[in-house]
Amino acid sequence: AAALMSLIQSAKLNGLDPYEYLRDVLTRLPTQKASRISELLPHRWASVRAG
């Protein structure tokens, strides 16, 4: 529970909708290459997603 709350707070602090962020990250996580896992961090997620 603590890890999930940490992700939610990080998303909020980065101006993201926590639900949208978690839904996308949890969908992409199983196929995300380990070398690109940092793209899923809240502070990078929006810019990577925008292209």
What integer best gives the mean pLDDT of the chain?
93
Confidence category of residue 28, pLDDT binned at 50, 70, 90: very high
- Show the tokens assigned to 30: 């199983």
> pLDDT tens, 32-47?
999 999 999 999 998 8
Show me where the domains of the chain are located. 2-50
pLDDT of residue 33: 96
User: How many other C-beta atoms are found inside a 10 Å radius of the C-beta of residue 3?
Assistant: 7
pLDDT of residue 47: 87
pLDDT of residue 46: 86
pLDDT over 80 at 50, yes or no: no
